Amino acid sequence: MPDARTGAARPARSHLWAWALMALVLVGALAIGRGDPGPPSDAQRAHDIATEIRCPTCRGLSAADSDAPSSQAIRDEILRRVQAGQTDGEIRAYLVSRYTVDILLNPERHGVAVLVWALPIVAGIAALGALILAFRRWRASPGVAVSAGDQALVDEALRR
Amino acid sequence: MNAALGTAGVALALSAAVLGMVTLAVGLRRGDPRLLSAGQRYVWLILGGAVLSVVAMEAAFIGHDFALKYVADNGSRETPMLYTISGMWSALEGSILLWSLILAGYLAVMVRHFRARAGDHLVAWATLTGFAVAAFFFGLMAGPANPFKVISGIVPADGQGPNPLLQNHPLVAFHPPILYLGFVGFTIPFAFAIAALVTGRVGEGWLVETRRWTLFAWGFLTVGIVLGAWWSYEVLGWGGYWAWDPVENASFLPWLTGTAYIHSVMVQERRGMLRVWNLSLLVSTFALTILGTFLTRSGVLDSVHAFSESNIGPALLGFFALVVGVSIGLIGWRGDRLRSPGAIDSPLSREGAFLANNVAFGAFAFVVLLGTVFPLIAEAINGDRLSVGAPYFDTMTAPVGFTLLFLMAVAPALPWRKASGELLHRRLLWPAWAATGVVVVCVAAGLRGLAPLAAFALGAFAAAAAIRQLVLSARAARRQGSPAWRGLLGRANGGMVVHIGVVVIAVAFAASHSYGQRHEFRLDPGQTAHLGGHSITYLGTTTVQHANKKTLSARVRVDGGQVYEPALQQFPFASQAIGSPSVRVGILDDVYLTLVAAPEGNTAAAVVGINVQPLIAWLWIGGGLMGFGTFLAAWPGRRRRPTQPSSAPAVASGEPSVTPVADEAPVAVGPHA
C-alpha cells in the first residue's frame, strides 16, 4: 500500500470538483425525492396516531398493527375524532383518560418519562466528549522514539 | 422412571460441576497439573448428566409420560412429532434444560480443544469459570426451575400441548436451539476473559485463542435472531417481523455489544489498545444474555406487577449481579496491567472508525436497554405505569442505524494509523457515486421519502465499499496463484460478506417500513380486492378437523394464480382462535394474507387482511448472508496458527505481558511490539 504514505496531504483541486459535483447531484435527487407530502389525509393521520397507541388486549402491538376488536374500536374512535377536527394531542389526551397513560407507546416528553428521552442524549454527548478527550490525550502523548537503524529497516521493508 | 432419570442427570451434572470446580481450585493452589487435568475431565460427567436429562425429557414427551408436570403442561397425545420434540423448549424449565445441554456441549468441546494444555493455568481458570456457570444453571434445575417435577395425585390422561403459537410453524424447532447456541457460546470467551484477568495474562493471547469461539457464537446469535424475526412474521399474523418486544430486545442486546466487541477487538490485536474496553464489552455481552433471560423469563416485564410471582427471577438477578461484580472487581484489580502504551494517531483511521463504531453500538445498546427496562424504572421512581414501544425505539435508533451504515461504507477504505485525503478520494469516490446513482435511479423510479432514500444511498455506499474490498482481495488471491474465491476467506473478507448481508437487511427493513401497504377488505365469495398492484380474490372457506386443532381457512387467489389459505385455528385448550397467516413470498414483494373475521356461512362475506410489503424476503436472505460471511471469516485461510502458548507467562514486575500476534501482516503490530 504505497498510497497510504506517498499520497498528497491535500486533495487535488480536480478531486474537490468531483465530490462537489456528486454532492450537487445527490442533493438535487434528494430534494426531488423528498416529495411533497402536503397535508395528510384523515385516514393517514388516524393511522399515524394509531401506530403510537398500544393495543389494550394484546401484548407488544400497536392499535394500528393489531386485528383485535379492541384495537379496531380504538382505530374507529381515532378516525371519528380526526374527522371531527380534534388535534393529535387532544385525541391522545382522550385515549389516556379513557384508558391509562400506559396506552401511549411513545412515552410523553414530560414527567418521569422525560428521562427515557434525555438519558441517551446525555450519554451520547458524554461518550463523544470522552472520545474527543481521548484523542487529545493521544495526540499529546510523545509517541515512540524511532532510532535511525529501525527507520532504515522499515524503509527497506517498504521498498520491497 | 423418566423423572428419576432426569433428576439423576441434573444431580450428576451439578455435582460434577461442583467437584470439578473444587478439583481445579485445589490443583491451581498446589500447581499440580495432574489435578488440573483431572478437574477438566469432569466435563464429561457434566455432559453425560445433561444428555441423560435431555434424553429423559424427550422420552417423556415422546412416550406421553404425563406424570411429569412439564410434559402434561407442554405436550399432548395429538401434538405432531416435531412439536412434541420441540415441546421441550416451549416453556421456562425446558429452556433452561436446553441452555444447560448446550453449555455442557460447549464446555466439553473447549476442554477437548485445549486438552494438550490442561496444565496451563489460563485454561484451568477458564474451565473453572465455565464450570461455575454450569453449576448455576444445573442448580436452577435442581431448585427453582425443576423440569422434572412430578404431578401429585392422579396422572392426567392427556396433556395440554404447547402454546398454540408454538405448534404451527416448523421454525419453532430451529430458532430456539440456534439462538441458544449464540447466547451460550459467549460463555467461552467470557470464561477466558475471566481467566486472563485472574492469571494476569491480559495480553492479546486469550483474544486470539477465543476469536473463533466468539465468531461462532456471534454467527449463531445473528442467525437465531433473524430466524426469530422470520418466525414472528410467519406466525404472529400482524405482518411485521420486529416489534421491539422485550423478548426480542433481550436477544438483540448481547448481539449489539458482541458486534461492538468483534470490531474493537481488532484494534487490540493490532495495536494492543482498548484492553479494559474489550474486556468490558465481552463481560457485558455475557451478562446481557443472563439479564435478558431474567427480563423475559422471570415475568418481570411480561406483566410489570408480577415481580414476585416467579421464583427463578431472584436467582438470575443474583447471578447477573455476581457476574458484573466479579468482572468489575477483577478489571479494577488488574488495572495496572491493562494500561496500554499505544496511542491512536488520527480519528481518520481504521482504529478511529472502530472507536466510532463502538460509540454507535454502545449508544444503540443503551437505548434498547433503557427502553426495555424503563417501565420498571418509572414504576420504581413514582409508581407511574407507562409503556415504551416501537415508536420510541424507531425514533431513537434510526440516527444510530444511519451512522452505522455510513461507518460501514467508510471504515473498510480507511487504513490503519492515518488516512490521507488522496487515499480516501481514490477509495471512496466510486462507492460514493454508486450511492448517488442508486438515489437517482430510485427517485426516477418514483420512490419518495427522505428516510428510505437515505437508507438506500448509505446501503449502496456500504455495499460498494464492501464489494470493492472483496474484488481487490480476489485479485490479490489470483496474483498469488490461488483461485479467486480464496479472496473471500479470512476475517476481513468474510466480514465484508457480513456487511453486505447487513446492507441487504437494512435496505429491506427501510423498504418494508416505508412502502408497505395494509388494508382489511370485507369480501363476498368471488369478489376481488386490489392493493399495491395485486389482485386478491376470495373464493370461500374450508374447515378441516386435525387431531390437535380445528382449522377454518379462507381460500384466497392472488394475482389470478395460486390459492393461499390464511386460517383461524382453534386449539382445544386455547380460549381464542389463533390466526395463522399465509404469505405469497416474492423477490420484489410479499403479499401477506390474514383471515380477520370468519364468514357466518360459506356464502357470507369474510374479512381478509392484506399486507403488501416490498423486499421482505431479502431480510431472510440478508440473514443467511451474514451467517455465511461469519463462516468465511472463521475459515482458517492461510493465516499462520500461533505456535507459542497463547499468552506469555505472568511477569512479576507488573509489566503488561505482550506476545506477538500472528496476523496476516507482521508489520505494524504496535509501537510496543
Best residue in B302, B400, B423, B438 to probe A by mutation, most A CBs within 10 Å? B423
Mean pLDDT computed over B454-482: 94
Phi then psi for residue B610, to 5 deg, are: -120, 130
Strand partners, B607: B522, B597
Average pLDDT, chain A: 85
Rounded Cα gap, residues B352 and A77, in angstroms? 52
Cα dist from B573 to B72, B162, B163, B384, B548, whole Å = 12, 10, 9, 35, 10
Best residue in A10, A53, A102 to probe B by mutation, most B CBs within 10 Å? A102
B142 touches chain A (CB under 8 A): no
Reference B499, options B473, B471, B466, B452; nearest CA is: B466
Is the predicted pLDDT of residue A2 greater than 80, yes or no? no
Residues 405-424 of chain B with CB under 8 A from chain A are 415, 417-424
What pLDDT is stored for residue B486 in this prediction? 87
Residues 23-62 of chain A with CB under 8 A from chain B are 25-26, 29-30, 32-35, 51-52, 54, 59-62
Rounded Cα gap, residues B673 and B467, in angstroms? 33
Rounded Cα gap, residues B143 and B312, in angstroms? 9
Instruction: Judge contact between B571 and B556, C-beta under 8 A.
Output: no
Instruction: Judge contact between B576 and B566, C-beta under 8 A.
Output: no
Candidates A128, A143, A157; nearest CB to B667: A157
What is the residue-wise DSSP string for B47-98? HHHHHHHHHHHHHHHHTT-TTBHHHHHH--TTS-HHHHHHGGGSSHHHHHHH
Phi then psi for residue B79, to 5 deg, are: -65, 135
**Chain B residue numbers touching A121 (CB-CB < 8 A):** none
What pLDDT is stored for residue A144 in this prediction? 62
Residues 448-477 of chain B with CB under 8 A from chain A are 448-450, 453-454, 457
What pLDDT is stored for residue B657 in this prediction? 39
Residue A49 banded pLDDT, cuts 50, 70, 90:
very high
What pLDDT is stored for residue B603 in this prediction? 82
Q: Say how many Å lie between the first and final Cα of chain B, rounded.
A: 61
B425–A19 C-beta distance less than 8 A:
yes
Mean pLDDT computed over B73-79: 91
Is the predicted pLDDT of residue A141 greater than 80, yes or no? no
Instruction: Judge contact between B201 and B279, C-beta under 8 A.
Output: no
Q: Classify B197 as helix, strand or coil.
A: helix
Q: Using alpha carbons only, what angle is made at residue A137 by residues A131 and A142, rounded to the nearest 5 degrees?
A: 145
Residues 200-259 of chain B with CB under 8 A from chain A are 237-240, 243-246
B245–A59 C-beta distance less than 8 A:
yes
Q: How many residues in total does chain A contain?
A: 160
Residues 6+ apart with CB under 8 A from B481: none
Which alpha helices (DSSP H) does chain A contain, by range? Answer: 3-6, 13-33, 42-50, 69-83, 88-98, 114-140, 148-159
Which segment of B12-26, B545-559, B611-625 scores lowest on mean pLDDT?
Answer: B545-559
Residues 261-300 of chain B with CB under 8 A from chain A are none
Residues 300-319 of chain B with CB under 8 A from chain A are 302
**Which is more confidently placed, B11 or B205?**
B11
Sheet holding B589-597, edge to edge: B517-523, B606-614, B589-597, B582-584
Rounded Cα gap, residues B298 and B318, in angstroms? 13
Residue A100 banded pLDDT, cuts 50, 70, 90:
confident
A18 touches chain B (CB under 8 A): yes
Reference B294, options B274, B324, B272; nearest CA is: B324
Most confident range, picked from A4-8, B35-39, B649-653? B35-39
What pLDDT is stored for residue A10 in this prediction? 52
The number of C-beta contacts closer than 8 angstroms across A and B is 178
CA-only gyration radius of chain B, Å: 27
Is the predicted pLDDT of residue B57 greater than 80, yes or no? yes
Reference B507, options B455, B432, B449; nearest CA is: B455
CB atoms within 10 A of CB B513: 18
B238–A66 C-beta distance less than 8 A:
yes
A157 touches chain B (CB under 8 A): yes
What pLDDT is stored for residue B640 in this prediction? 43
Candidates A33, A100, A115; nearest CB to B448: A33
Phi then psi for residue B595, to 5 deg, are: -95, 105
Rounded Cα gap, residues B601 and A70, in angstroms? 24
Reference B209, options B106, B128, B150, B126; nearest CA is: B126
What pLDDT is stored for residue B638 in this prediction? 53
Which segment of A22-26, B188-192, B237-241 scores lowest on mean pLDDT?
Answer: B237-241
Q: Which residue has the cell 392484506?
A: B610
Instruction: Judge contact between B11 and B98, C-beta under 8 A.
Output: no
C-alpha cell at A15: 478531486
Rounded Cα gap, residues B163 and B667, in angstroms? 57
What pLDDT is stored for residue B328 in this prediction? 95
CB atoms within 10 A of CB B346: 15
What pLDDT is stored for residue B556 in this prediction? 95
Strand partners, B611: B518, B592
B392 touches chain A (CB under 8 A): yes
Instruction: Judge contact between B188 and B106, C-beta under 8 A.
Output: yes
B402 touches chain A (CB under 8 A): no
Residue B410 banded pLDDT, cuts 50, 70, 90:
very high
Reference B609, options B518, B534, B537; nearest CA is: B518
Strand partners, B528: B537
Which segment of A133-137, B26-30, B459-463 scores lowest on mean pLDDT?
Answer: A133-137
Mean pLDDT computed over B164-184: 92
A156 touches chain B (CB under 8 A): no
Mean pLDDT computed over A78-85: 94
Instruction: Judge contact between B68 and B149, C-beta under 8 A.
Output: yes
C-alpha cell at A138: 493521544
Is the predicted pLDDT of residue B672 greater than 50, yes or no? no
Q: Which residue has the cell 382445544?
A: B572
Instruction: Judge contact between B435 and B464, C-beta under 8 A.
Output: yes
Best residue in B376, B443, B519 to probe A by mutation, most A CBs within 10 Å? B443
Candidates B245, B381, B391; nearest CB to A112: B381
Rounded Cα gap, residues A63 and A72, in angstroms? 7
Rounded Cα gap, residues B291 and B318, in angstroms? 10
Q: Which residue has the cell 398492484?
A: B533
Q: Classify B638 as helix, strand or coil.
A: coil
Mean pLDDT computed over B395-399: 95
Residue B665 banded pLDDT, cuts 50, 70, 90:
very low
Rounded Cα gap, residues B365 and B349, in angstroms? 24
Residue B637 banded pLDDT, cuts 50, 70, 90:
low
Phi then psi for residue A16, to 5 deg, are: -60, -40
What pLDDT is stored for residue B668 in this prediction? 33
What pLDDT is stored for residue B146 in this prediction? 93
**Chain A residue numbers touching B425 (CB-CB < 8 A):** 11, 15, 18-19
Reference A62, options A1, A11, A106; nearest CA is: A106
Reference B57, options B90, B91, B97; nearest CA is: B97
What is the residue-wise DSSP string for B219-285? HHHHHHHHHHHHHHHHHSSSS-S----HHHHHHHHHHHHHHHHHHHHHHHHHHS--HHHHHHHHHHH
b/e B392-427 (16+ beta carbons within 10 angstroms → b): bbeebbeebbbbbbbbbbbbbbbbbbbbbbbbbbeb
Instruction: Judge contact between B571 and B588, C-beta under 8 A.
Output: no
What pLDDT is stored for residue B601 in this prediction? 77
Residue B302 banded pLDDT, cuts 50, 70, 90:
low
Q: Using alpha carbons only, what angle is made at residue B599 by residues B597 and B601, rounded to the nearest 5 degrees?
A: 160
Mean pLDDT computed over B143-156: 91
Backbone dihedral region of B64: left (phi > 0), alpha (psi from -120 to 50 degrees) or beta?
left
Mean pLDDT computed over A40-46: 89
Residues 6+ apart with CB under 8 A from B650: B199, B200, B201, B657
What pLDDT is stored for residue B313 in this prediction? 85
CB atoms within 10 A of CB A34: 14
Is the predicted pLDDT of residue B579 greater than 70, yes or no? yes
Which alpha helices (DSSP H) does B420-449 contain, by range? Answer: 421-444
What pLDDT is stored for residue B343 in this prediction? 81
What pLDDT is stored for residue A155 in this prediction? 83
What pLDDT is stored for residue B271 in this prediction? 85
B370 touches chain A (CB under 8 A): yes
CA-only gyration radius of chain A, Å: 29
Residues 6+ apart with CB under 8 A from B641: B662
C-alpha cell at B335: 488495572
A65 touches chain B (CB under 8 A): yes
Which segment of A59-73, A107-121, B220-234, B468-482 scores lowest on mean pLDDT?
Answer: A59-73
B567 touches chain A (CB under 8 A): no
Strand partners, B545: B550
B651 touches chain A (CB under 8 A): no
Phi then psi for residue A62, to 5 deg, are: -90, 165
